[in-house]
Amino acid sequence: MEIKDYTSKLKEFLQCKNDIPPEIVSSFDFSYKVKKSWFMNVICYVEFGINEGFLKGRIAEEYNKLLEYLNSTKFSCRLTIKEDIEKADMLLSEAVSNLEEKIK
């Protein structure tokens, strides 16, 4: 995967909805960040970027902090909260900003 395509994919994740609807979101609706699958995709894609050398340093540290946070809060066993989304968004935003600097 080229760095431009990779950056575009991370931007797609940022464009998903931040809303936390009162009803359960369908497993076929990929437009919400509240879904556990959105978080798994973020984790997998950021890890891919680290492994490919696209992302380094502070981004890798923030990635590890997010993983630690999600694990320490028993994320997989509870409902998603606004703070979860904000932390993942922060990581994605920093990663995209970092990548866009490299593309220039």
Q: Which amino acid is at 104?
A: K
29 band by pLDDT with thresholds 50, 70 and 90: confident
pTM for the model stands at 0.91
In whole angstroms, how far apart are CA 91 and each of 58, 75, 87? 10, 17, 6
Question: Per-residue pLDDT for 73 more than 90?
Answer: no
74 band by pLDDT with thresholds 50, 70 and 90: confident
What is the arithmetic mean of pLDDT over 89-94? 97
Distance CA 42, CA 34 (A): 12
